[in-house]
Amino acid sequence: MTVTTQVRVRYAETDQMGVVYYANYLVWFELGRVEFLRTLGFDYSLMESVEGCILPVVEASCRYRSPARYDDPIRIEAFPLLLRGSVLKFGYRILRESDSGVTLLAEGETVHVVCDRSMQRRALPDPVAGLIRSAIAEHNAK
Amino acid sequence: MTVTTQVRVRYAETDQMGVVYYANYLVWFELGRVEFLRTLGFDYSLMESVEGCILPVVEASCRYRSPARYDDPIRIEAFPLLLRGSVLKFGYRILRESDSGVTLLAEGETVHVVCDRSMQRRALPDPVAGLIRSAIAEHNAK
Amino acid sequence: MTVTTQVRVRYAETDQMGVVYYANYLVWFELGRVEFLRTLGFDYSLMESVEGCILPVVEASCRYRSPARYDDPIRIEAFPLLLRGSVLKFGYRILRESDSGVTLLAEGETVHVVCDRSMQRRALPDPVAGLIRSAIAEHNAK
Amino acid sequence: MTVTTQVRVRYAETDQMGVVYYANYLVWFELGRVEFLRTLGFDYSLMESVEGCILPVVEASCRYRSPARYDDPIRIEAFPLLLRGSVLKFGYRILRESDSGVTLLAEGETVHVVCDRSMQRRALPDPVAGLIRSAIAEHNAK
C-alpha cells in the first residue's frame, strides 16, 4: 500500500542553483509519512499529543535523480518497509508529473524508533501496528 | 545599546532569484534579539524553560533595501525600542560588511507580548526589565 | 477578488513553542500571491523565466492574532491592494478552518517593485496589470 | 584533515518535539562542506559563479544519535572521503560542546557529482582536486 501526496514546489524551497534545496526532500518525506498514517486512520498529531507515541527519526537517506524546480507539481509516494519491535522504516519516491509523463526525482528511506513521551522505546499501538504490517506484506508481494 | 551578531548567508537561505529569500530576514531578527538578551545576561532558552517567560511575536515588519547574496558576511543589529507593560518592541538593522564598506540591506521591527507558560500576559522579570529600559533610554538619547 | 489557497501546517514549520514559527507566515503569503496570479491566468514561474518580469519584495508586515499548530488546515487569502507605476501591494489573511468555525490567525501585506531581469523598474505587462486593477476596484467596492 | 565550524541552534530550527528538525542537519552538513573548501583556499560561491563548477548532491544520509536543542553550541566536522573522477564524497560529524564534554549528535555523508554550468560532469579544478586527495589520504591514515 502506497499513499500519494501532492505538493507544488514553493519559491522558498528553491536555492540559487534554481532547483529545490536538497534538505527539503526530507520535509516532503515527512509529509508523505503523515499522509500514509492518516490514510490508515491515524492522525500523527493526535498520536503524539493524546497517545504520547512519537516517531523520532534515527536514520534518513535520499538519492537525488533529477532536480525539482519552482512550481513543479510533485507527487510524494510513501510506503512502510519494515516494522520490527520498535523500529519502523518507511520508503519514499518523489516524482514530477507533467504532460510528458512522470519523472522520478528522488528516492529515500527513513528509520524511526517508536517512543513514549519520555523517549523510551515502546511498541506501536495495536491497530496501527497491524495495519502497517499488512501494508508491508502487500508492498513486498508486488 | 545595540548588540551585533555576525552570520554568513547559507546556501539554504537563497532562492532561485539568487538572493536571500525574504522570510529569512525574520530568522536573522530573532538571532539578533536572542544575542541582545544574552548580552544583558539573559539566556532566552532558560527564560523560557526555567522562568516560564516567553515572548511570542504579535507583529513583525521588514523593509528590504538591497539583496543579500550567498556567503555574504551579514551583521545583525538589534536594539529595544519600547517596553510598556507586557509589550516589548525591538528594532533591527541588517548590514553587509565588505572591503568597500557597509551596506544597509534591511530594517525592521518586531513587537512581542511577554507571556507565562499558559500564554497569559505577565510583566518581564525585574532585572531584565530594568536593563531593557536603560537600553531604550540610551538608544533614544543617541 | 480574493483567491484562496489551502495548506496543512507541516511539522517542519512548527517550533519548540508548539506553534508555527513566525517567519513561515511570509512563506504562506507567497503561496497565496502566486495562486492569485495563477487565477488571473499568469504563471509566476513563466513571468519570471519567459517575460523576465520579477516581483522582489520591498516591504513585508504581519500581525499575528492566534497561533497555528501542527496539521491545522490553513486557508490563505490573497488580494491586491494597490498598483501604482511599478509598485504593487498585496494583502493577506491567514485563517484556520475547523468544525467550530473559522479563526483569523494572521493578517499582513507585502509591497513589490516590478522589475526586469537587470532589476530595473518596469511596468507590469498589460493584461495582468488590467486584471489586477479590476481586482483592486472590486476589493475596494466591498 | 577535518574542518570544524561552530553554530548555535536557531529557534527556527527546532520543531514542536523541542529538538532540531531532522532536515536541518543537512543544512549544517553544507555549512561544514563550504568551510572545508574555504580552508583549502576555495570559495564555493566563486567556484560556482566564476569557474562555473558546481557540486550538486546525488546522495545524502544521516544517522541521528542524540537530539540537538535550542541554543546548543554545535560543532560541525567535515572531511572528504573519496574523489574518483567527478564523484566527490564528504563525511560529517555533528557534536554538542558543553561543560560536561562533547556529545556526538549525528553522523552522515553526502555524495556530489562535479558539474559545469550546463550540468555536464567535469573534473574538479586542479589545485582543489590535489588538496582534497591529500586530505583524504591524511584522513585514511588516522
DSSP letter string over A52-71? --B--EEEEEEEE-S---TT
Per-residue model confidence (pLDDT) at position B86: 96
C-alpha span between C21 and D16 (Å, rounded) = 10
Task: Give the residue with greater pLDDT, B89 vs C125.
Answer: B89
Residues of A in contact with C44 (CB under 8 A): 71
Q: What is the pLDDT of residue B15?
A: 96
Identify the top-confidence range among B8-22, B42-56, D121-135.
B8-22
Residues A70-87 pLDDT 10s: 999 999 999 999 999 999
| Nearest chain A Cα distance for residue C44, angstroms | 9
B129 in Cβ contact with B83 (< 8 Å): yes
pLDDT of residue D70: 96
Going from the first residue of chain D to its last (142 residues), give the mean pLDDT of each consecutive group of 10, the final group possibly shorter.
Answer: 94 96 98 95 88 94 97 97 96 93 97 94 90 91 80
pLDDT score for D127: 86
Task: Tell how strand D87-98 and strand A3-8 pair up.
Answer: unpaired
Give φ, ψ of A32 to 5 degrees: -65, -40
Radius of gyration of chain B (CA): 16
Residues of chain C with pLDDT under 70: none
The C-alpha cell that represents C51 in the structure block? 517575460
Joined together, the cell numbers standing for residue B132 give 531593557
The residue among A19, A31, A64, A119 with the most chain D CBs within 10 A of its CB, best to mutate, is: A64
Q: What mean pLDDT do residues B32-55 have?
A: 91
Residues of D within 8 A of A59 (CB-CB) are 61-64
B142: pLDDT strictly greater than 80: no
Show which of residues 12-41 on chain C sit within 8 Å of chain B, judged by CB atoms.
Answer: 17, 19, 22-24, 26-27, 30
| Mean pLDDT, rounded, of chain A | 94
At residue C50, the pLDDT reads 85
pLDDT (0 to 100) of residue B51: 84
Q: How confident is the model at residue B28 (pLDDT cuts 50, 70, 90)?
A: very high
pLDDT at A50: 85
Q: What CA–CA distance (Å, rounded) separates A126 from A129?
A: 5
How far is Cα D29 from Cα B6, in angstroms, rounded to an integer?
20
Q: Residues of A with CB below 8 A from B18's CB?
A: 16
Residues in chain D: 142
ipTM over 0.85 threshold? yes
* CA distance, residue A16 to nearest chain B CA (Å): 4
pLDDT of residue C120: 94
Cα–Cα distance between B103 and C118 in angstroms, integer?
20
Chain mean pLDDT for chain B: 94
Instruction: Tell me how close the Cα of A40 comes to any Cα of chain D, in angstroms.
Output: 23
For an interface test with C, give the residue of D13, D16, D17 to mutate (most C CBs within 10 A).
D16
Contact partners, residue D131, CB within 8 Å, separation at least 6:
D40, D41
Which of D13, D19, D34, D46 would you mutate first to test chain B, the one with the most B CBs within 10 A? D34
pLDDT value of position C98: 85
CB < 8 Å to C11, chain A: 30, 34
Q: In Å, how far is C72's CA from the nearest CA of chain D? A: 14
Q: Which pLDDT score is estimated for C52?
A: 87
* Exposure of B62 in the CB half-sphere (CA atoms within 13 A): 27
Distances (CA, A) of C9 to A29, A93, B13, C24, D122: 15, 22, 20, 10, 41
* C-alpha cell at position D51: 569557474
| Contact in structure between B105 and B67 (CB atoms under 8 Å) | yes
CB D47 within 8 A of CB D37: yes
Tens-digit pLDDT profile for residues A7-52: 999 999 999 999 999 999 999 999 999 999 999 988 998 888 888 8
Instruction: Specify the amino acid at residue B44.
Output: Y
Strand partners, B104: B95
Nearest CA in chain C to A70: C45
Query: Does the pLDDT of residue A97 top 80, yes or no?
Result: yes
Give the predicted TM-score (pTM) of the model. 0.96
Active site residue ranges of B: 15
Query: Could you tell me the fold of the domain covering B3-141?
Result: Thiol Ester Dehydrase; Chain A (3.10.129)
Question: Which pLDDT belongs to residue D140?
Answer: 84
Burial group, residue A20, by CB count within 10 angstroms (0-12, 13-18, 19+): buried
Query: Is position A15 annotated as part of the catalytic site?
Result: yes
Query: Strands C3-8, C57-64: parallel, antiparallel or unpaired by DSSP?
Result: unpaired
Average pLDDT over residues B107-118: 96
Instruction: Say which of D31, D69, D71 has its CB closest to residue B10.
Output: D31
